[in-house]
Structure 1
Amino acid sequence: MRKTYFNWSSGKDSSLALYYTLQQKEYNITKLVTTINDDFKRVSMHGLRESLLDAQAVSLNLPLHKIKLSANVSMTSYNEVMKDNVMNLKSEGYTHCVFGDIFLEDLRIYREDQLRSIGIQGVFPLWKKNTKELLLEFINLGFKAITVCVNAKYLDDSFCGRILDESFLNDLPENVDPCGENGEFHTFVFDGPIFSDPINFEIGDKVLRNYTPSSDDDDNCFTDEDDKSWDTSFWYCDLI
């Protein structure tokens, strides 16, 4: 079996991809890897408290490696930190890593290009699968998830802090991908067939946060073109 680490986001796509991969004999997953916003001690993009991420890892019975990044990290710095961490993982004998990506071609190309330079091979078990069918499979398998972040450009606050079920799927606007693959929403999975125990939590405050991309230097993640289209408002549901 190939020694493999798993890029864990704490959400539904990661959970289903991990479920798929654990059914195979080809990959031996022995570690989760998650990027953390070190300024706020939360999972990047999802806004999930680090303590709940830790609880997931315990229930999954897998060690967790955290890659800590500042809130305003530039793309160059991001690439450097990621490269250093992946090189360390390679030195531990890892040859493959798994992602929960479904259809974003540019993101997959970026990941594979970065990994190829280090000698790690990416694995994408959900690639090109129908996202509506994936979400229904996720629900039918017994996974439990709640939305922790929604893009205000696509969804109002009523979708934030909501349990993923068929009612949620049916209520999504037509322009929103059923799995939120375009960044429309992010989730926290708190139970399912790969967890030994459910994750206990309470629902806290719901807040709208606005972000302004900076273009102070050429090192920033955003170009002028990106600034015009970048989504800047997100509803977050704090889980405690």
Structure 2
Amino acid sequence: MSTPARRAVLLSWSGGKDAAWSLHVMRMRGDVEVVGLLTTVNTGVDRIAMHGIRRDVLQAQADATGLPLVEAAIEPLCDNERYEVAIADALERARSRWPTLDTVAFGDLFLADVRAWREASLAKLGWRVETPLFGADTASLAREMIAGGLRAYLCCVDTQQIDASFSGRTFDDLLLADLPAGCDPCGENGEFHTLVVGGPMFVGSIAVRAGEQVLRDGRFFYTDFIRAGD
């Protein structure tokens, strides 16, 4: 009896731990195959939107996963309408490459309103949404990621929720112990964003060094991570 073909899935890739762990989890399943990484790039700074990850570090991540990038280019201060146009264009290009593709996976954990918005937005374009980590206990999930070999740094923190000194730190058990009460261990409420440099979803680690730190929009404190040797 032949084995059923696995369903192709495009993974929304922020460069952070939740996207990376979603890739790991889906690769352990027998019913889906992640075929590419969908990434939103801010053309004004040539970085992943929100996380502020440099494009060459993004490419190193894609190379480490063995998956091609499908980029949605957005301009600085992009409004929602232009954002949706950029995503629609990227998805059209993805479907031309993988004609059976109809699903985008996201690393959402428990924000039901965000997931509902994604589902409604993508349904208009004829796409489905999958959230392989949704509903997980985030404290347990954070420990599972660390124990499972995921290596990441905090590349951005919301200073209205946690102290700026957390930016640039390693995502590890010590960090989890130091997070203030009320801070989600996975940063699901936007407390922090991460840059993944190693883990079971990669064929090897990415060497980076911390560079400039800067406060943007009076709120978000970024640490710029640069490829080691640059």
Provide TM-score, normalisation by structure 1: 0.88
* Alpha-carbon distance in 1 for matches of 2:70, 2:86: 13
* Alpha-carbon distance in 1 for matches of 2:79, 2:201: 35
Query: What amino acid is the match of 1:21?
Result: M
How far residue 4 of structure 1 moved from its aligned partner, in angstroms, is 1.2
Q: What root-mean-square deviation, in Å, do the aligned CA atoms of Structure 1 and Structure 2 show?
A: 1.1
Query: What amino acid is the match of 1:72?
Result: L
The answer to whether residue 219 in structure 2 is matched with residue 233 in structure 1 is: yes
Residue 14 of structure 1 corresponds to 19
Q: Deviations over 1:150-193 (max 9, x none)?
A: 00101122100000111100111112111100111000000111
* Alpha-carbon distance in 2 for matches of 1:160, 1:169: 13
Residue 108 of structure 1 corresponds to 115
* Alpha-carbon distance in 1 for matches of 2:115, 2:67: 25
Runs of at least 4 residues of structure 1 off by over 4 A?
A: none
Residue 55 of structure 2 corresponds to 50
* Alpha-carbon distance in 2 for matches of 1:181, 1:154: 12
Residue 131 of structure 2 corresponds to 124
Please show how residues 155-170 of structure 1 align to structure 2 within 5 Å.
155-170=162-177
Residue 3 of structure 2 corresponds to none
Query: What amino acid is the match of 2:46?
Result: K
Gaps of 5+ in 1: 211-231
* Alpha-carbon distance in 1 for matches of 2:174, 2:180: 12
Please show how residues 11-160 of structure 1 align to structure 2 within 5 Å.
11-91=16-96, 92-93=98-99, 94-160=101-167
Query: What amino acid is the match of 2:200?
Result: P
* Alpha-carbon distance in 2 for matches of 1:148, 1:122: 27
* Alpha-carbon distance in 2 for matches of 1:194, 1:85: 23
Q: Deviations over 1:70-112 (max 9, x none)?
A: 1111111111221222233234321212110011111111111
* Count of equivalent residues: 219
2:41/2:73 contact within 8 Å kept: yes
